[in-house]
Each structure stands twice: as C-alpha cells, then as structure tokens.
Amino acid sequence: MPALLKGIYALGFNRPSKIQATALPMILADPPQNLIAQSQSGTGKTAAFVLAMLSRVDAMKRYPQCICLSPTFELALQTGEVIEQMGKFCDGVDVVYAIRGNRPFKGSRIEAQIIVGTPGTVMDWCFKLKLIDVENIKVFVLDEADVMIGLQGHSDHSVRVKRAMPSHCQMLLFSATFEETVWCFAERIVPDPNIIKLKKEELTLTNIRQFYDFCENKEAKYKALSNMYGTITIAQAIIFCQTRRTANWLSQEMTSDGHVVALLSGELTVTERADIIQRFRDGKEKVLITTNVCARGIDVEQVSIVVNFDLPMTTEGLTDYETYLHRIGRTGRFGKKGVAINLVEKCFMHMLRDLEEHFGTKILRLDTGDIDEMERLCD
C-alpha cells in the first residue's frame, strides 16, 4: 500500500522497533491472526496497531471497519491523531472519536471506517444509540489491554463491545504491563492468539534512570520539587500525585511561588483536559502536574523527567507496580534518555524496596538540593 507507506515515512519512521518487527508480520498476515502483545512503554505499539487498522480498511466502503478502545479521553484523541497522520495519504479513510462530549447527530449512522474511543461511549454508540453497525468490523484493538479488561467498569464495557464483534474479526491486545490474572483472562477471551510476552527482568527500560530522594513530609517533598524546578524545566516534566487533592494543592503552592505549571486531573471538563494537554505538547507549560489519569500512553517526546510526588498505590494500599512502570514510561520515549525521580517519605520507603525487588533494579539516592548534581543528571 504505497499511500500508507508514504504516511509512515512522513512520520519519520524509517526503521521498525523490536515490537513492530515482531508483531507486524503476525498482524498483517492473511488470513488475519489475533495477537496479545506486551512491550515496554514508548516502543511503538500504537504505530503497530494503527498500521494494522489502516492496512485492512477499504476506503471505498462507507461504514465502520475498525474499532480501537482506549482507557482515557486523552489517549483516544492521541491515537486518533496517529491514525489521521499515518493515514493522511489514504484517500477516503476517516476516523471518528467516540468520546464523551463528542456526540454525533442523533440517529445518524457512522460512516467513518475507523472508530477510536473510550469503552463506555463506544458501548453506548453501539447498543444504546445504535450509531455503529458492528457487522463489518474487521479489526478490534484494545490499547492498554490490561486495564481495559482488568479494571472494573472498563472491563464490563470493553468485554461487551468485544462480544458483539463478528467471529472473523481480528483481535489485537496491547499493553506494556499485564498482571498474570489479567493475562490469563486475555487468553481466554481472544481466540487462538499469537503471544508476545516480556520476561519480568525486561520490563524496566535501561534508558530511564531511576532515583529517589528521602523527604520528611509533604512540605519537604514540595521543597525538593521547588529546588528542582529550574532543572526540570530545561526540558519538560510530568509530576504524578496519588490524589486529585494533592495535585490541586501542589499546583496552587507552585503557582503561588511564581512557578508556571499546568494541572490535569479527572475533574475537569473534557475540553479543558484536551486544551491543557495540547498546551503541554506545544511546550507552553513545561511542568504538568497530574494524577494517574495521565499515567498511561500519553506521548510527549520532550518529557525528560518524571517525578513521583507520591509513589503509586493500589486501592488496597499496596505498591502499584504496573502504574509505576506506566508513569515512568512517560519519559524515555522510543529509546530516548529519561529520568524518574521518586520523592519518598519514611513510611513509604518499603514501597521503594518493593519496586526495586519486583523489577530487579536499583533506585539510587539523589540529593535533589544539589543543583550541580541535578544538572548533570538532566544533561
């Protein structure tokens, strides 16, 4: 498909990454094969499944042929943009966004061939509003597949949409992380899948250097962050907090100290969220304070530092290994260098040890007050 190749080269993709080289022959095979694939953050999974969708679309036919489900509004938008860019020379191929706030005219059937959206909205469009005719869907993609089938809410919706797909539809599941139980479930719901799975020791990326600084309390963490501000704004940084409340507090403190920061949390309207992420992409703000809503998939090349203001914790109060990997994976995209800094209070030091042990990696102590050291690090 010359038009598709032209789109790939226009994106500057000259060579495939490892996951792309391994997955694409399976994905593009005829007859189509199902795939459950794991590969580290930022290694080009999106490009692989976008290529899969575009290669199967018949531009002459004006009805839905591919569905891609993403866990968040931001990620659905981002994936849609990759589809639009890669497919820009494929005449007649359209994308529609099944996301909150983007409701097509009542009763009008979708004609676009590719639908990208969040599970709840796609489900509504399929079953309640009957806007999507699922009969001719050829490719069904679950991005961030582990949360899509493992997390209550998302799981009900995603599995329902998946069950409505025609039996010959190609299923593609991608993620950087898969808990064992979720992996087993994925294998049960996808017929006869090809499997690409990482070993535990392959999970962390060597291009992302991980550090921690020990802080007495929340205020000390804030002080550490203020000290770092000059260094982390040389490029761009994302700061993750456990709760919206902490994110709000941190953003207010930073702002009243004269630092320029953006705040993105789930309580904002979708338009506000889209706006904030776009401004951050454009480099208008260098620091983005957020919650786990941005932990997965968001791809901003210039992010060279990720700060965990709080270490990620599950609702049961345990160390959240998957979220940790996704968060630090917001830097070090496609082999670039990146730095992750964890600000840790004494009572959470055990979580740091858990992370080291789980991933078989060392998280070194860093003095965030030492500007020279910080600058060397971020060089």
Contact pick of 34, 35, 38, 45 for ligand ATP (by CB under 6 A): 45
Q: According to the binding rule CB under 6 A, does residue 72 interact with ligand ATP?
A: no
Question: Taken in order 112, 165, 75, 377, is the CA torsion positive or negative?
Answer: negative
Q: According to the binding rule CB under 6 A, does residue 127 interact with ligand ATP?
A: no
Q: According to the binding rule CB under 6 A, does residue 17 interact with ligand ATP?
A: yes
Considering only 12-20, 101-109, 239-247, 310-318, which stretch makes contact with ligand ATP by CB under 6 A? 12-20
Angstrom CA distances, 43 to 249, 278, 314, 343, stand at 34, 22, 26, 27
Contact pick of 23, 27, 36, 44 for ligand ATP (by CB under 6 A): 44
What is the nearest approach in angstroms of ligand ATP to the Cβ of residue 51? 9
Contact pick of 41, 65, 251, 304 for ligand ATP (by CB under 6 A): 41
Please say whether the beta carbons of 140 and 35 come within 8 A.
no
Q: According to the binding rule CB under 6 A, does residue 221 interact with ligand ATP?
A: no
C-beta of 224 vs 303, nearer to ligand ATP: 303
Contact pick of 34, 38, 43, 331 for ligand ATP (by CB under 6 A): 43
Considering only 97-105, 159-167, 316-324, 326-334, which stretch makes contact with ligand ATP by CB under 6 A? 326-334
Contact pick of 94, 299, 310, 320 for ligand ATP (by CB under 6 A): 299
What is the nearest approach in angstroms of ligand ATP to the Cβ of residue 341? 19
Q: According to the binding rule CB under 6 A, does residue 122 interact with ligand ATP?
A: no
Considering only 35-43, 130-138, 227-235, 239-247, which stretch makes contact with ligand ATP by CB under 6 A? 35-43
Q: According to the binding rule CB under 6 A, does residue 79 interact with ligand ATP?
A: no
Cis, bond preceding 16 (omega within 30 deg of 0): no
Q: According to the binding rule CB under 6 A, does residue 297 interact with ligand ATP?
A: yes
CA–CA distance, 63 with 52 (Å, rounded to integer): 17
Contact pick of 64, 150, 193, 329 for ligand ATP (by CB under 6 A): 329
Q: According to the binding rule CB under 6 A, does residue 80 interact with ligand ATP?
A: no
Question: Residue 155 burial (CB < 10 Å; 0-12/13-18/19+)?
Answer: middle
Q: According to the binding rule CB under 6 A, does residue 120 interact with ligand ATP?
A: no
Residues 143-202 that bind ligand ATP (CB under 6 A): 176
What is the nearest approach in angstroms of ligand ATP to the Cβ of residue 11? 6
Q: According to the binding rule CB under 6 A, does residue 338 interact with ligand ATP?
A: no
Q: According to the binding rule CB under 6 A, does residue 34 interact with ligand ATP?
A: no
Q: According to the binding rule CB under 6 A, does residue 42 interact with ligand ATP?
A: yes
C-beta of 44 vs 117, nearer to ligand ATP: 44
C-beta of 231 vs 290, nearer to ligand ATP: 290
Query: Which residues of this protein are in contact with ligand ATP, per CB under 6 A?
Result: 13, 15-17, 20, 39, 41-47, 176, 297, 299, 301, 329, 333-334
